[in-house]
């Protein structure tokens, strides 16, 4: 997982991030507006047809089957669409035919969806023999030519309203069953569903409580799609003479018009065009409505698809690149824009990671550590946004470190080992193929494969396991493969966000020890984000403690851990048992990290601080030299005497 995806603008274009972001936001608004417009238009078209069907007697005084005039009468005030060859009013047939066409389409769609959803739930949740049998039936149904199957079934079972609905439902249930089953397979493996099953919840209860509510939006999309297809199929069957000729629908109007030579006279203009246009209106209405429902079910569809762009070449090395730190941040501010508010996750952070050094970034959840890691790696995504600050990578000045500015350096100058790195590997490819793919950023295919072999062996993965797929490896092996992928192009900076999460204690120690060895061997600067304060303090060269988006203390790891100056740092160390020395009771820290939707006045730690004073509520403490003699601390009570 070396983040080898590509992005536009070069570092030189970094200052133009704000206009670009505004342009993207404008595109998003236009996309959402287009979706709503199509949904409204679809609802109008479909709603108009439904109103015509419900209030059909209001639109015409005639019955669709009575002889109301002379045959082939032209349109007139008495017969706005004229009459057919036996004198029946065509407007009456059109408006009353709306009822039958919609009833058949919606009824067939509802039955097909119920069948498809039931099959998807049983096959996807219970698996085993039920899944094997049901999905083979689905494959069989989808394997037949679609229209041919409809015609054969309709011809075999005969004509009639119920027969038409049954035939359409029989043909249309298989596709939603396959689509919905894939979602059920994913939902049944979610943690809360597994927990319900582990506590003995019956399958029917778990399905009704956890699966069906989550799958309902997608089921609504499938219903609209089925109804759209059913309208066309009903008209096709009726046009071919396989519908119920005793009931008037748009399809039977077209059938009789064709059978009675309407094309040989001018009657086709008012006998064929109106039902054809009505079919078009319903089909378009369902299509537009389906697009809007699909966008509602999956909000990601509102965002326009990114244009593929070519990866830009790295700019030339600056003259002082060898002596420059791997990372330098100044005044970094990261906010998450929410409807009606914004959360400042990172508030004016300065941070330096020298080459060959390991800097630990620690603090409670919600303090902004991961936001810094994602920003530095160039993968911070909306609603997160870099509002201010500057960044230097191995001597390259990037300006404000927005995603486009960092993109050319990802995988080459900076690499990321993400949280849950074991899930970062693609299950469809061997670990060798994935590491070699990352190596091809800087080498040809043969050299990349050899480099991948070398790195995998260096991180402790035996050559016999290089062609293994991720599911064939243990958690520690997968973690080592991800680390190899991150280091394959000799980056100057490695961002490790909880790199040992999810591993047992022994494997965690081995992986962290490996990172320390690789730091020295490759002369790479490591920014390690972690909650494991005691472990990081033993491994790191420097320690930076974050609280509420700010660094409240930093300095040599040995000094910070042995003599913490900030009350928050002391509270963090007091929450962990010491490995050596006398035993002492653990002390928890009351309260929570403050809500960052508004910038608090004074010291943000004051509500939880046991030493706070009135002065702390009035003045915001800045990082200043620590009285311990090394490092810095942001605490008014720990100011070094001037």
Structural domain includes residue 87: yes
DSSP letter (8 states) at residue 490: -
> Does residue 91 sit within a domain?
yes
Are 594 and 604 a contacting pair, CB within 8 Å? yes
Q: Please state, as a whole number, how many other Cβ atoms lie within 10 Å of the Cβ of residue 110.
A: 16
b/e for 387-414, b at 16 or more Cβ within 10 A? bebbbbbbbbbbbbbbbbbbbbbbbbbb
d(CA 403, CA 385): 9
The whole-chain average pLDDT of the chain stands at 81
Domain presence at residue 34: no
Q: What is the pLDDT of residue 217?
A: 85
Model confidence pLDDT, tens digit, residues 263-282: 777 777 878 888 888 888 88
- Distance between CA atoms of residues 406 and 403, nearest Å: 5
Q: Is residue 257 part of a domain?
A: yes
The backbone region for 420, taken as left when phi is positive above 0, alpha when psi lies in -120 to 50, beta otherwise, is: left
Share of the chain above pLDDT 70, in %: 87
Q: How many domains does the chain have?
A: 1
Given pLDDT bands bounded at 50, 70 and 90, which one contains residue 526? very high
pLDDT tens-digit readout, 404-460: 778 788 878 888 888 776 677 888 788 998 888 888 878 888 888 999 999 899 988
Considering the entire predicted model, what is its pTM? 0.58
Residue 133 lies in a domain: yes
Cα-Cα-Cα-Cα dihedral sign, residues 614, 620, 624, 628: positive
* Backbone phi, psi, residue 391, to 5°: -140, 145
Note whether 327 and 78 are within 8 A (CB): no
- Region of 281 please: left (phi>0), alpha (psi -120 to 50) or beta: alpha
Is the residue at 270 inside a domain? yes
Name the residue range of residue 295's domain: 78-300
Which residues, in sequence order, are bridge partners of residue 547? 550
Cα torsion through 551, 552, 556, 559, rounded to 10: -160
Any domain includes 190: yes
What are residue 552's phi and psi, to 5 degrees?
-100, -20
- In a domain, residue 101? The reply is yes
Q: How many CB atoms lie within 10 A of CB 114?
A: 15
Which among 495, 494, 491, 466 is positioned nearest to 481, based on CA atoms? 466
Q: Which two tokens stand for residue 444?
A: 């040809």
Q: What is the CATH number of the domain that holds 229?
A: 1.10.3720.10
């Amino acid at each position: 997982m070396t983040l080898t995806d590509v992005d536009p603008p070069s570092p030189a274009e970094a200052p133009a991030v704000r206009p670009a972001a505004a342009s993207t936001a404008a595109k998003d608004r236009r996309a959402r507006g287009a979706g709503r417009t199509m949904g409204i238009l679809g609802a109008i078209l479909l709603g108009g047809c439904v109103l015509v069907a419900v209030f059909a007697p209001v639109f015409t005084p005639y019955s669709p089957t009575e002889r109301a005039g002379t045959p082939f009468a032209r349109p007139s005030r008495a017969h706005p669409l004229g009459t057919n060859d036996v004198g029946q009013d065509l407007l009456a047939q059109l408006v009353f035919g709306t009822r039958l066409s919609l009833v058949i389409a919606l009824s067939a769609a509802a039955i097909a969806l119920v069948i498809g959803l039931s099959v998807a739930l049983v096959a996807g949740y219970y698996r085993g023999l039920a899944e094997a049998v049901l999905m083979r039936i689905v494959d069989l149904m989808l394997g037949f030519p679609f229209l041919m199957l409809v015609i054969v079934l309709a011809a075999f079972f005969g004509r009639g309203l119920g027969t038409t609905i049954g035939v359409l439902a029989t043909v249309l249930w298989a596709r939603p069953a396959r689509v919905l089953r894939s979602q059920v397979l994913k939902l049944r493996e979610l943690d809360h569903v597994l927990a319900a099953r582990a506590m003995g919840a019956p399958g029917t209860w778990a399905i009704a409580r956890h699966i069906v509510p989550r799958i309902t939006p997608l089921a609504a999309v499938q219903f609209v799609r089925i109804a759209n297809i059913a309208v066309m199929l009903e008209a096709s069957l009726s046009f071919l003479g396989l519908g119920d000729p005793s009931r008037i629908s748009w399809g039977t109007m077209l059938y009789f018009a064709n059978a009675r030579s309407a094309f040989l006279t001018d009657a086709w203009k008012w006998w064929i065009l109106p039902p054809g246009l009505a079919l078009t209106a319903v089909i378009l209405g369902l299509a537009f409505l389906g697009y809007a429902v699909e966008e509602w079910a999956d909000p990601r569809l509102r965002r326009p698809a990114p244009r593929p762009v070519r990866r830009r070449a790295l700019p030339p090395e600056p003259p002082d690149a060898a002596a420059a730190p791997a990372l330098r941040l100044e005044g970094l501010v990261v906010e998450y824009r929410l409807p009606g508010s914004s959360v400042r996750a990172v508030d004016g952070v300065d941070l330096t990671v020298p080459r060959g050094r390991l800097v630990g970034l620690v603090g409670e959840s919600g303090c902004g550590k991961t936001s810094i890691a994602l920003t530095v790696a160039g993968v911070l995504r909306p609603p997160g946004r870099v509002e201010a600050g500057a960044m230097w990578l191995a001597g390259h000045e990037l300006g404000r470190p927005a995603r486009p500015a960092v993109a050319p350096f990802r995988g080459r100058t900076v690499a990321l080992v993400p949280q849950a790195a074991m899930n970062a590997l693609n299950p469809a490819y061997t670990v060798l193929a994935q590491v070699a793919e990352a190596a091809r950023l800087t080498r040809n295919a043969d050299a990349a494969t050899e480099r991948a072999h070398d790195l995998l062996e260096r991180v402790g993965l035996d050559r016999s396991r290089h062609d293994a797929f991720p599911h064939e490896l243990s958690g520690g092996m997968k973690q080592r493969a991800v680390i190899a992928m991150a280091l394959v192009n000799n980056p100057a900076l490695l961002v490790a966000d909880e790199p040992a999460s999810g591993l047992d204690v022994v494997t965690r120690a081995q992986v962290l020890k490996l990172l320390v060895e690789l730091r020295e061997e490759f002369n790479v600067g490591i920014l390690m984000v972690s909650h494991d304060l005691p472990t990081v303090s033993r491994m790191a060269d420097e320690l930076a403690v974050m609280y509420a988006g700010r660094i409240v203390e930093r300095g040599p790891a040995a000094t910070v851990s042995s003599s913490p100056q900030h009350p928050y740092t002391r509270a963090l160390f007091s929450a962990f048992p010491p490995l050596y020395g006398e035993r002492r009771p653990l002390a928890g820290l009351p309260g929570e990290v403050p809500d960052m939707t508004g910038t608090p006045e004074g010291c943000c730690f004051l509500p939880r601080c046991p030493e706070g004073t009135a002065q702390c509520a009035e003045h915001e403490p800045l990082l200043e030299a620590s009285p311990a003699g090394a490092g810095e601390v942001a605490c008014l009570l720990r100011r070094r005497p001037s």
